[in-house]
Structure 1
Amino acid sequence: MAAPMDTKTSSETFTIDFVNKQFGSDLKKLQLVVNVYQTHKEKQANLTKQLSLASSEAPSELEQGIKNAEKARSDVRKLRDRNDRLYHEIQDQTRDLSTVVKETSALSAEISELEQLTKYLQCVKKVDTTSSQIEVLLQSDNLLKSVDKFAELSALYTNLGTSKCHNMVKYVKDTTIYWYKNLKNKIASEFEETLKQMKWPLVAMSIKAPPVQNTAEAKTKMELLFKQLLKLQLPSSLQGEVEQLPSCVASMPGIRIPILPLSLMVKPLRRRFKYHFFGNKQTNDLAKPEWYFTQTISWIRDHLVFLEQRVQPLLLEAGTQTNVKTEFMVAMTTLVMEKMLTDLPELMNDDHQFSHLVDEALLFDREMRMSYAYPTCLPGALHVLSQDTYFRKWLHIEHKFATEKLDGMMSSYTAWDSQYKHIADVDEQKVPECGDSFMTLLLTITDRYKSLPEPALQLEFLDLQLELLEDFRVRLNQVKNNTHNILSGQYCAILNTAHFVADVLREWSELVFFLQLQYFKMVNTSSTKQSLSEDDIPFGYTTLFDEMISLYSHLENDMLSTLVSQVAMDVRSRGKPYKDDRWISLPHQKEMTLGLSTSACEMLLVLKDHLLDVSELVSKPVFTHFWEKMAANLNQYIFEEVILRNKFNQGGAGQLQFDMQRNMFPLFGEYTSKPESYFKEVKEACFLLNLNVGSAILLKETLYEALHTLPREPDRISQAKAALSDVGVFKLTLDQSELVLSLRTHMAT
């Protein structure tokens, strides 16, 4: 009951609101009621019409949708039936065809097998046919075509390389090797005979050979046979089974078998080498390795022109990039390496013979690399010595012999004499015999290991050099400590040696060889800790010899300071009368002619003698350091002991200035154009002591105001410094300048 009541109330409320909104309180608007009624009646009619249309269209669309769904269901049913029917048909067809498929598969496999068999037989036939053709061609002496046919056989083996028909591969391989050997023997015999006609190898003969007949014909035949041998190449996978290097050098990296024609050309030389240096001949002498090294170099020298003029053009014509000169040197070097590896085990117990072999091997390798441009990337005699066993022995011998030589140098009665003391231009460094010999020894060691193929091995020799440098430094210290006379020739010779060694090591540190070793050492050390890029390595901040340079420089500076102290002590002891002179009561210079103070004569004379003696004993660079330190020491002595501890009248100030400017400074004028610049405190103190009275008073007042007026003002300090600069005082501080001015007794006019 509540609901209808509420609805009615709502309708009434809506009606009241509608009437009020349409007509308001104006009664005249009631005449518009008809219009309002007509308008709403039309709206009602439109809505009724739309509803009628919607109700009539909806059933037709719904019916169409139902029809479509029914059709789709019918199609699905038909497709399912068709699928079932096809499935059963396929099953029936499969059962019917299974027998046929089995029969067909068997036939297909049989056909495939027959095809493989056919190919197999074709391959066999190809091999047999080619083999027969080669045989026929050989019988007719047609070597050129037989080599071409062999190339076909070789290509066939290469194509069969991945085949699983192992028997076939073996058959082709054996056939290829068989004909290779036959053809090689056939052509090689003719080739060797032709080479003999051309007097190959070009070796010295005790009996003069008869002149060659038909030289042009022999040359043409040699070229033809060379080209045939060049074509007669086995596949790379077979070369190792036919042509083998000697077992002792086979493991050497970079060693290779020469091309076939060159191998045949080397054969007589190899035979001669074996005969002379491996047999029972007197030339096979362990104590004379230079014999086979020299012989090898001679053969290389004698044959290079022939190889470059006659053989290299044939290789270029064949389109190969082989360098016959390099290949020939590799073959000769292989002989040398084989000989070294045979002899070295017997030499391990004889240090002198082992060392002699090393010396000769170094000379041989250097001549090969420098005189004949043997590539550094290819193995040589030093690769044999780089093997661990022999390298350790070499390193041990170098250390032993170097130590023995060092003992001899230090014990020589001329150890501390200069070798060039009678040649002034050469003896500027004044290096004693032991110092010069020691650095020569180190340089020799560097030259010996410089050509080693591995930087790691070079670094081990470098460690040996550093060890020898430390040993030599310790010995220098021992001799120095046993030298009681500091001014003796031996003490100065040790000082010269320390300077010379440090100076040479600085030069070595900048050499490309040692810079490369330093880089390798840094990279190798870094790689053991962590992976670093080149940009992370502070290359150039350190060198290999930094520690040794520091130690020798310390020894030099220590000895130089001791020498300066000794001389300064002697000079100061002679300067006591000069220090105690009566500077306050000396007569004015206008009253007398100035001359050197009597009390300074002995001091300056001793100083002059010491400067002369030391200049004759030490090298020029060391003496430069000496007199500079000596000047600094005397400057301090005169300023602190003579000037600051005395009072000066006008005569005393003038005498001091005369003694310094006309006597002390000129003693050093022989070594520098401006000796007074090394006595700045003394020079400036003399200026202040001899400054005219008026200027001195004004300057003293300026200094007093700047130093003693509190608070200290920067402007006053600056004015005081400017005042000192105006009178030529730059080194002395404000306090020192005031103190010097206070030493004047002649401040009143």
Structure 2
Amino acid sequence: MSAVDTLPPLSAAAAHNAALLDGTTHRHAQGGHSNVVVFEQTIDVEEDVTDFFDARFSSRKDLANIKTLLNQQTELGQDLNHKLQESKERTAQVLRQAQTQSKLALNSLQDLESSALDLEEQMENSEAFAAGKNKRDQRSMIEELSDLQKRVQALEDAKRYIVVLSRTQKLMSESRELLQTSTVQALIPYKSLVDLTNNVKHTVASQDTKLERHLSASVEGLLQDFKGSLSRKFQSSLDAVGWPKAIADVSTITSDKLDDFEASFKEFLLLQEPIYGALDRSSEKPYPALLTMELMVAPLIMRFKFHFEGKRPTNRLDKPEWYLTHILELIKDHAPFLQDYVQGIVQATEYKEYDVKNDFIRLLLGAVERKIRLSAPAMLDSPEILSHAIHEALRFDKTLRENEDYVPPGQTTDWQGTVQVYLGNREWLKTWLRVEKEFAVARYTQIMEDVDAWQPAYDDMGEKEYIIPTKSAEKLMDLLEIVTERYRPLPVLEHRTFLLDIQLDILLAYHRHIRGLVDQHESLTYSFVRVMPGAASADELNTMGIEGLRNLCQWLSSVEYVSTTLKDWAEDVFFLEMYKEISERTQKIINPLNSENEDSEPEDMASRTRLDENGTIFDESVKGFGSLSKRIQELIVRNITKDVFGSMKSYVSLRSWPQIEMSDVGPQPAVLQDPLVSHHDYEDDVSPELYQPLTLLTHSLEFLAATMPTRQFTTLYRQVAMEMQDFMWQKIIMKNSFSELGGLQFARDVRVGLWGASRRWIKKPENYHRKLRDASILLSLQSAKANSPPAMVSYDQDKKSKDQGPTTRTLAQIMAVLFDEDLEVGMVKRRLEEIGVLHLGINEVKDVIRRRVECWR
């Protein structure tokens, strides 16, 4: 057994590298020189010379340039010879170094073989080593073997280094030479070099990063050589077509220039993948910019920097619209050439997903964003300028989205815009929000300080279906609409929701202001203690009569207009999307308008833990203003009824209702038994005590009808009618007894007085006083003695339909039915319906009947 046989076997990689090294050494030895032969081809000199002269000298005139051409070719030949000589010297030097390293490696291997033989001999002759007695010698031999193994590994690594370096140099030389003729062919050895580098990173890089750095630098250097060569070629084609000037008509450029542009464009794109990697079409992120577009945009960006980043007068901090307009003009000027011609070239490549115009815009926006980052810090000392710049950026972004349909190529999510550069910085964002809130509050203060703030915004709307807002309400909503429109383009929810803070703050201030006025009105109007009874102050006079009603109507119009406008806004797509986003991110929203309103009912806690999926962004605001509107309406009703009821003291104190006997005036026509029938020439004057109350009521209703829209007027009239009905029911009907003539007089007061005062604006006012209508029928029933026989007409015969009107019955007949305990309730109600009593309950009918002096029950 030889010493060589005892060495550990070489790894597969080491054996492969050794084979490569041996092969290389063998070829070098056979060739007798160190030059690497890349191409072997036979050149026919005479044929090449002939072709050369045929191509350049087609006529005698061309012979005049022969000297110039000869000088050019001489210089070209000298330059090529010089480069060839340099390449030969570099190649020879590398090969000499490789040979030297190989010889050293061989010498080391021979030394290792000799050492292994000596070691084997010592192991065979040493019984002490075999018996394990001499541990000191055993330890020494193990350490020596370990050291020898490390040296062998180092030699193997050195051999691999040499092979890798030699291979790297060869691929780089091949790639550079092929680049002179074909970029496609030059990329083949380049890709092999990339693969070699990746393989080394997974094997050798963990042991020595110097080789990895060298290979990476080689790949990068070769790629930069490619990029420099192709970019110069593409730049020449750009210069030929006149870029970066706007090219409005491609037909003005010769076909050979366009062909050269297209060829160099496509050739330059061959480096897109080597530089930026393979295109990831599954990602939501935008694609990398095209190399060709980077080169095309470069002079435009340089001009942009010259005008807007230097000391030129065009670089003004307070005029961001200048450079933004400049960018829009560049897009407008170059879009025809990019869309009509360049896009077609890109469509013929593997990058057809690109929109070249949007890629062009994206590269220009890089300069805009850089300009913003440079300018924004200086704007912090002048927040108004910062606010102006952000508004201009929002307008700029909106223009790109709407007019240019801009989306970064490959991006599937919404583009956040250049404004995001401002808003992405917390300090800049806080400064801007503070300025915007201060502006909104200042504008709101001006609105409320206007002396005509509560005057109607219009003299006449022309339609009674719409609310005539006050000037303050209209200007307030205009201000909020301006806030909405200015910040509608904001792309991020967190930034858009701040406009709600501005709007809610202003709405809350307006709500509190009106509520304070209402509180003051209520305290002056309904105070129980007067310092000087009978003497009212100027403020108290403003709460009385038509003047007080005017103030309440102005506040009501303001509240209703704001509430109605908010309902319309809530259905806007912008606010619906915002509400959806908020509902997905939060479980609770508390609106200060609702919490500030003392009239709001407590809400179920479970219902406030999440937002209503069918709700809107302004639901709570509308609810707060709705509660305030309800309170003002109640005050309007109280204002009207307070004056009317105050003037009805003499009417309420009448005690003549039961004292008028029917025999004093003789029989009355049957027509008076139906208070709904229109009066003719018969005596139908209302009680004189009712003149003043009816006058006050008429004036109040006339003012309301002229001030409020029809729907609002009807709502208020319904509430006034309910108050009047309850008052007359409690203070007159239930407090007095009535003879037949007294009942007829009361019926006339209701029909001619109360309803007549309202019939000008309400077609059927009796529908709003149904209890009074029924009570008037009962109180005006024809009298009959209690022991008199029933009327000749039976209840079971000759029934009249409702279309024929109510049946004529006497008081005795109605009492007989009403107090007959054997009759069913349904039968009693049908008998009451026959005389027109439709809305009172049986117990209420009995209470009214007992008001007649003839009633014995």
TM-score grouping bracket, smaller chain normalisation:
0.7 to 0.9
Cα distance between partner residues in 2 of 1:721 and 1:158: 101
Q: 2:260 aligns with which of 193, 196, 221?
A: 221
Instruction: Name the counterpart of 1:331.
Output: 363
Residue 286 of structure 1 deviates from its aligned partner by 0.6
Q: Which residue of 1 aligns with 2:423?
A: 386
Q: Counterparts of 1:408-557 in structure 2 under 5 Å?
A: 408-425=446-463, 428-481=466-519, 484=539, 485-486=542-543, 487-488=546-547, 489-526=550-587, 539-540=612-613, 543-557=616-630
Shift of 1:407: 0.7
Give the structure-1-normalised TM-score.
0.74
1:720 matched residue in structure 2? 828
Q: Distance in 2 between matches of 1:391 and 1:236?
A: 37
Q: Secondary structure at the match of 1:572?
A: helix
The aligned residue for residue 32 of structure 1 is: none
- What is residue 686 of structure 2 aligned with on the other side? 597
The structure-2 alpha-carbon separation of the partners of 1:365 and 1:639, relative to structure 1 and needing over 3 Å to count, comes to same
Aligned equivalent of 1:170, options 203, 213, 216: 213
Residue type matched to 1:131 in 2?
Answer: M
- Cα 1:226–1:236, aligned 2, differ >3 Å: closer, same or farther? closer
Q: Within the alignment, does 1:364 sit opposite 2:472 as a pair? A: no
Which of 211, 228, 233 matches 1:185? 228
SS at match of 2:483: helix
Q: Structure 2 vs 1, CA of residues 632 and 277 (structure 1 numbering), >3 Å: closer, same or farther?
A: same
Mapped to 2, the partners of 1:620 and 1:160 lie a distance apart of 88
Residues 390 and 741 (structure 1 numbering): CA distance in 2 closer, same or farther, change over 3 Å?
A: same
Offset from partner CA, 1:444-503 (integer Å, 9 cap, x none): 222333333322332333233222221221222334455642443444222211122222
| Shift of residue 113, structure 1, vs aligned partner | 5.9
The equivalent residue for 1:574 is 647
Give the Cα separation in 2 of the matches to 1:662 and 1:480.
35
Aligned runs of 1:73-84 on 2, under 5 Å?
A: none
Letter in 1 for 2:467: Q
Q: Secondary structure at the match of 1:594?
A: coil
Q: What is the CA deviation profile of residues 8-53 of structure 1, one whole-angstrom value per residue up to 9, with x for unaligned ones?
A: xxxxxxxxxxxxxxxxxxxxxxxxxxxxxxxxxxxxxxxxxxxxxx
- Relative to its length, the structure with more helix (as a share) is 1
- The change in CA–CA distance for 1:540 and 1:594 in structure 2 (over 3 A counts) is farther
- Alpha-carbon distance between aligned partners in 2 of 1:108 and 1:445, rounded to the nearest angstrom: 74
Deviation at 1:106, TM superposition (A): 5.0
**How has the CA–CA distance of structure 1 residues 660 and 151 changed in structure 2, closer, same or farther, with 3 Å as cutoff?**
farther
1:108-148: CA deviation from partner (whole Å, max 9, x where unpaired): 785266379888766655543443234334445x5564466
From 287, 293, 298, give the equivalent of 2:318: 287
Deviation at 1:280?
0.6
1:722/1:126 CA distance change after superposition, 3 Å: farther
The structure-2 alpha-carbon separation of the partners of 1:392 and 1:214, relative to structure 1 and needing over 3 Å to count, comes to closer
Q: What is the rounded CA distance, in whole Å, between the counterparts of 1:180 and 1:445 in structure 2? A: 52
Query: 1:201–1:415: structure 2 CA closer, same or farther, 3 Å change rule?
Result: farther
Larger Rg belongs to: 1
Aligned 8 A contact 1:151 1:232 in 2 = no
Tell me which residue corresponds to 2:769.
679
Show CA shifts across 1:484-534 (max 9, x none).
424434442222111222222233334443344334334433599xxxxxx
- How has the CA–CA distance of structure 1 residues 155 and 492 changed in structure 2, closer, same or farther, with 3 Å as cutoff? farther
Instruction: Mark the runs of 5 or more structure 1 residues left unpaired by the alignment.
Output: 1-96, 240-252, 529-535, 707-712
- Cα distance, 1:611–1:100 mapped onto 2, change above 3 Å: same
Amino acid aligned to 2:770: K
CA displacement 1:185-206 (0-9 Å, x = unmatched): 33223323433443433459xx
Distance 2:776 2:508 in 1: 49
Report the 3-state secondary structure (helix = DSSP H, G, I; strand = E; otherwise coil) of the residue aligned with 2:682.
Answer: coil
Q: 1:639 is aligned with what amino acid? A: W
Which of 692, 699, 702 is the matching residue for 1:609? 699
Q: For residues 98 and 576 of structure 1, what CA distance do their matches in structure 2 show?
A: 141
What is the RMSD of the two structures over their aligned residues, measured on CA atoms? Answer: 3.6
Hey, what's the Cα distance between the residues in 2 that align with 1:522 and 1:538?
Answer: 6
CA displacement 1:215-250 (0-9 Å, x = unmatched): 3222222111111121112546789xxxxxxxxxxx
Contact preservation (8 Å) 2:467, 2:561: yes
Contact 1:134 1:146 in 2 (8 A): yes
1:272-329: CA deviations, max 9, x gaps?
Answer: 1111110111111011111111111222222223222222222221122222232222
Aligned length: 620
SS at match of 1:648: coil
Aligned partner of 1:701 in structure 2 is 816
Other structure's SS at 2:731 match = helix
| Counterpart amino acid of residue 498 in structure 1 | V
**1:582-638: CA deviation from partner (whole Å, max 9, x where unpaired):** 344285654971333152333223212111212333455443332221121122223
- Mean Cα displacement is larger for which, 648-657 or 412-421? 648-657
Q: 1:332 to 1:108 in 2, by over 3 A?
A: closer
Q: 1:100: Cα distance to partner?
A: 9.1
Q: 1:128 aligns to what?
A: 169
Q: What residue in structure 2 maps to residue 47 of structure 1? A: none
CA contact (8 A) 1:589 1:654 kept: no
User: Does the 8 Å contact 1:508/1:514 carry over to 2?
Assistant: yes
Matches of 2:249 and 2:576, distance apart in 1: 58
Determine the structure 1 residue equivalent to 2:842.
734
Instruction: Tell me, yes or no, if the aligned pair for 1:676 and 1:683 is still in contact at 8 Å.
Output: yes
Read off the aligned partner of 2:582 and give its amino acid letter: K
- The one-letter amino acid paired with 1:216 is S
1:233 maps to 272
Fraction of identical pairs, as percent = 23
Question: Is the partner of 1:440 in helix, strand or coil?
Answer: helix
Letter in 1 for 2:325: T
Question: Where does residue 266 of structure 1 map in the other structure?
Answer: 297
Q: 1:233 to 1:319 in 2, by over 3 A?
A: closer
Which secondary structure does the structure 2 equivalent of 1:177 belong to? helix
8 Å contact kept, 2:741–2:780: no
Residues 174, 186 of structure 2: 8 Å contact kept: yes
TM-superposition CA deviations, 1:67-95 (whole Å, max 9, x none)? xxxxxxxxxxxxxxxxxxxxxxxxxxxxx
Cross-structure match for 1:6: none
Partner of 1:299: 330
Question: In structure 2, which of residues 231, 238, 241 is the aligned counterpart of residue 198 of structure 1?
Answer: 241
**Alpha-carbon distance between aligned partners in 2 of 1:402 and 1:511, rounded to the nearest angstrom:** 22
Structure 2 vs 1, CA of residues 419 and 527 (structure 1 numbering), >3 Å: closer, same or farther? closer
C-alpha deviation, 1:731, in angstroms: 2.4
The 5-angstrom pairing of residues 206-217 of structure 1 reads: 214-217=253-256
Are 2:350 and 1:319 equivalent residues in the alignment? yes
Partners in 2 of 1:112 and 1:556 — Cα distance? 93
Check whether the contact 2:490–2:496 (CA below 8 A) recurs between aligned residues: yes
Q: Is the 8 A contact 1:147 1:228 kept in 2?
A: no
What is aligned with 2:721?
631
Report the Cα distance in structure 1 between the residues aligned to 2:500 and 2:172, rounded to whole angstroms: 62
Please tell me whether the aligned partners of residues 198 and 212 of structure 1 are also in contact (alpha carbons under 8 angstroms). no
1:183, distance to aligned residue in structure 2 (A): 2.7
Q: SS in structure 1 opposite 2:9?
A: helix
Alignment of 1:141-160 (within 5 A): 142-143=182-183, 145-146=185-186, 150=190, 153=193
The counterpart of 1:111, out of the listed 9, 12, 15, is 15
